[in-house]
Structure formats: structure tokens, C-alpha cells
Structure 1
Amino acid sequence: MGLSGMTYEYTDFANSTAPADVVRRQYLASAAGDLEALRATLAPDVEWKEMAGFPLAGTYRTPDGVTSHVMEQLGKEWDGWTAHDDTYVAEGENVVVLARYTATNKATGKPIDVRVAHHFVVRGGLIVRFEQFVDTAKVRDAMT
């Protein structure tokens, strides 16, 4: 099912430049561990902000910078890190996704299941900006 409740043909979804579709492809690529497909959703000058207090807090640029400093690092510290996207609010180039992270910390064996909100800005079929909002205390608690 598509985000609007309509059924998509795979090729339509795969090539869609609609902001919510681009964001959804990013989540699917991330969940599949397909960093090449994830990078393909990001603009060359993407600005990716992980929230202050989050273990990977900071601003990352370029598709390679985002995947190497965020996704690959999460894979090193967590088993099964997944962002489960469940609610999309899209207006123009802005897409806000309500989601949750699930994973198990490799060092402590403690699981997380924490709600998050992500704000994306999509232009020309690519994500140009991302900002994360998450309960960082829950993530850090699982790490200690």
C-alpha cells in the first residue's frame, strides 16, 4: 500500500520524486541494510542532524558522510537497529515521520524501543535536510 492508501506499482514508487515516497525509500533501504540505495535518496549536499544527547550527535554532510558516521556506526554498536516508520505528515517539501527505534545494544545486551520524530526536507527528489528528535535518555540507558 502506498502512503496515501493507494496501491503503487513498484516502478512508480521507485521513481517517484514525491517527498513522502523519497523518505519511505530511505527507511526501506535503511531497514534492508542497503546503504547504496539509502545514499541514492540523499542530496550531495545533504545536512543530517542527529540530536544533541544522542550517542552520534552532530551534523553530517554528504551521502557517504551520513552512512559512514551514522548507519555504519549504529551497526557496530547495536544489533537489529531499525527505524519503524508509521505515521507520515507531508506538506510541500517537508515530511515529518513519527516512528520508533528498536535494537539491542551489543555491549550491554539491553534492548530499546523508543519513539522518535524525524523531519525531512526533500527537494528535486532528494533529501536535503534531516533532523532527529528522540528520547536520548532511553537510548543512553540501554548503553550502560
Structure 2
Amino acid sequence: MGLTPEDFAVSTAPRDVVRRQYLASAAADLDALRATLAPDVEWTEMTGFPLAGTYRTPEGVTSNVMEVLGRDWSDWTAHDDSYVVEGENVVVLARYTAKNKATGKAMNVRVAHHFVVRGGLIVRFEQFVDTAQVAEAARVD
């Protein structure tokens, strides 16, 4: 079940834009997620994370990050627990939960995300995560 356009037209406040991104991700609604991203978005997954690197464009982000996570992990969810907002900067303290499809191992790892939102769109994202815990869940014994 996808989100409706009304879910994304409510507010351009940075916190609200970031929250809609999490809701779209949790619903696996990639069109809605792309609608939160600027055309020139820079999305950086941390060094050591399975998808490490910087991805550009909304399509680049969803095809290289969200689609791959969905392919390799069952029930991948980023739980946005708390927000710290200062101007266009939004830091989210969160956690990832998922089960690796190849190993069957579950993970529950704390994470911090830094977003920059301008003009109602996410222009930059940077992930901070304990990559060792993610790697352990993906490691075949």
C-alpha cells in the first residue's frame, strides 16, 4: 500500500521532509521516497557498510541503496527514534532492523543520520553506523 500525494504535500519543514522519507522507506514506496530527494542529492553510505559510497540523483539512491537492501535483507527497516533539528540540518538517532537473506542472521543496530534539507527536499544525507554489526549479520559462518 503506497502513500498518497497528500502525505507528501503537507509541509516543507526539514523535519517533516525527513520523516516522510522514513515513512516512504518503511512502506517500500520508492516513488514517494524519490519525491523527498533533490535532483542533485548526495547520499553517502558509510565506509565499511555493504553499500558504502556516495550516490547521486533520486533514482541513483533508490536503485543503489534501497533496492539492494530489499534484495539482500528481509524486513529492512530504519526506525527513526529521535530528531535534532537546527535550521536545514536534521540529525536522526535511529536503528536498523533486518534479517540477512543469505545468512538468516538478524541485526538490530544503532545508527545516526545527518540530512540537509533545502527548499523542501533532501540535498544531502550521511550515514553513521556500527558497520561491524552489519557485517557480522551478513557474514556466512
TM-score range for the pair, normalised by the shorter chain length: over 0.9
Match of 2:134 in 1: 139
Match of 2:3 in 1: none
Where does the alignment leave 5 or more consecutive residues of structure 2 unmatched? 1-5
The reply on whether 1:93 has 2:88 as its aligned counterpart is: yes
Match of 1:126 in 2: 121
Aligned-residue offset at 1:69: 0.1
> In the superposition, relative to structure 1, how do residues 12 and 137 fare at CA in structure 2: closer, same or farther (>3 Å)?
closer
Percent same amino acid among aligned pairs? 81
Matched-pair contact (CA < 8 Å) for 1:14–1:25: no
- SS of 1:96's equivalent in the other structure is strand
Match of 1:117 in 2: 112
Match of 1:79 in 2: 74
The reply on whether 1:56 has 2:51 as its aligned counterpart is: yes
Letter in 2 for 1:57: A
Deviation digits for residues 8-60 of structure 1 (CA, Å, limit 9, x no counterpart): xxx58742000000000000000000000000000000000000000000000
- SS of 1:15's equivalent in the other structure is coil
Output the CA distance in 2 between the equivalents of 1:39 and 1:117.
21
Matched-pair contact (CA < 8 Å) for 1:13–1:21: no
Q: Spell out structure 1 runs of 4+ moving beyond 2 A.
A: 11-15
Output the CA distance in 2 between the equivalents of 1:130 and 1:12.
21
Where does the alignment leave 5 or more consecutive residues of structure 1 unmatched? 1-10
- CA RMSD for the aligned pairs? 1.4
